[in-house]
Amino acid sequence: MKKKYFGTDGIRGEVGKHPITPDFMLQLGWATGRVFAEEGHGFVLVGKDTRISGYMFESALEAGLSAAGVDTRLLGPMPTPGIAYLTQTLRAKAGIVISASHNPYYDNGIKFFSVNGTKLPDELEYKIESYIDSPMTTVESSKLGKAKRLPDAAGRYIEFCKSTVPTRLDFKGLRIVIDCAHGATYHIAPHVFSEVGAEVVAIGVEPDGLNINEECGATKPEILAEKVIEYRADLGIALDGDGDRLIMVDHQGEVVDGDELIFIIAKAKQEAGELKGNMVVGTLMTNLGMEVALKKLGVNLLRANVGDRYVMEMLVKHNAVLGGEGSGHIICLDKTTTGDGIVAALQVLAQIQLSGKSLHELKLGMQKFPQILKNVRVNKKVNIDEVESIQKAVKAVEKKMGEKGRVLLRASGTEPLIRVMVEGESENEVVNHVNYLLDEVKKAI
């Protein structure tokens, strides 16, 4: 049965449009409270990023939880992985994240974490949905839930992040530019990296509720690259609005994406004997160059569907410890329970110090294949697997490329688009193949 409200990563949309409205959040808070109240006494954590609508939705969720008789601990601005960590360590009933991640300020959303710091199981999401559409009731006044702030939340998470690298490692001498995207890490990431010894230049640390992810952060690393050159830094770290994505920049101003960072971490873990099963989980979009480079190390790449939820499912299924996406969503399961930009960056810094190599030198261990992704907008849902002319065109391109290239056509899960991706050794060939497939898709639909 398809869920009515929950997507692959919670509930997300434009503020003011159903379901991202105060009245829905009140009902959602109550529904969540009803579900967890059935499990006995406890409290729920509520954290948010820095977008202006977070104030409104925080209050609505708090009121709904109180009406259901559940206590709330308010964390204020806190990275998504920080909320996952605190939910687990404080033994909360659940953790609620008010964030639209890398989206602009006018979007917002809700994500949930279980007591284990992982996404809620499907059965709980179905149960919450069953209450959302029920008439809201209020427990008697003596049983109303109470709310209070958790003033040391940021400090607890800062100490956790630092604990993910050995204390013997000294990062003194490293000059780092950190772009916090005016998001949830603005008051955390600079402290983490300065407290492990690095010299930190912080940008994107002046949130005003409207500038989150605006021309900055992991989705727009161009300004960071300029600052790395300007300050003659060793590298740059770009996080997104809720701190679960990481993109880096080397000392030459070259962007190092999620695939390249996963390769660096994988190689380090393998050398330390910490890469379980000699496997890494990527997605259907993971660059072929990463697969080739890992194979040379004797490491297998497993490909999940696009989305961190699917990466996590495959990690758990195969008892692996490292996975992620080119977008910078990197999961180090031996350190955290979800994607964490700060923790992933620390693992890369640790390898820089241990190897004595720069970020630029480390990324050269993997040569990215030229990869081009283009979209075709459609008016209705199309199952491209059943369109004979499209499949014939795909097979023709695959035959020409052989083992030196890859083709992927898929329907977007969030927009009315068909995504056409080709990668291979020759950029000219890739361009020609993409254009050919685009024409075939347009003709067919």
Catalytic residues: 101
Which residue type is seen at 315?
A: L
Residue 405: CA count within 13 A, CB half-sphere: 28
Pick from 307, 289, 418: nearest CA to 363: 289
Tokens encoding 148: 């209070």
User: How deeply is 127 buried, as exposed, middle or buried, from its count of CB atoms within 10 A (0-12, 13-18, 19+)?
Assistant: middle
Q: 351: which residues sit within 8 A by CB, 6+ positions away?
A: 264, 265, 267, 268, 362
Q: Is 444:392 a contact under the CB 8 Å cutoff?
A: no
Dihedral (Cα; 35, 147, 13, 128), 10-degree rounding: 0
Quick one: three-class SS letters along 249-265? Answer: EECCCCEECHHHHHHHH
Place of tokens 């996406």: 325
Tell me phi and psi for residue 86, to 5 degrees. -70, -35
For CA atoms 159, 161, 165, 171, the dihedral sign is negative
- Residues 179, 241: contact at Cβ < 8 Å? no
In 166-301, which residue ranges form alpha helices assigned H by DSSP?
189-195, 222-230, 258-271, 288-296
CA dist 163 and 193 (Å) reads: 12
**256 phi and psi, to 5 degrees?**
-115, 110
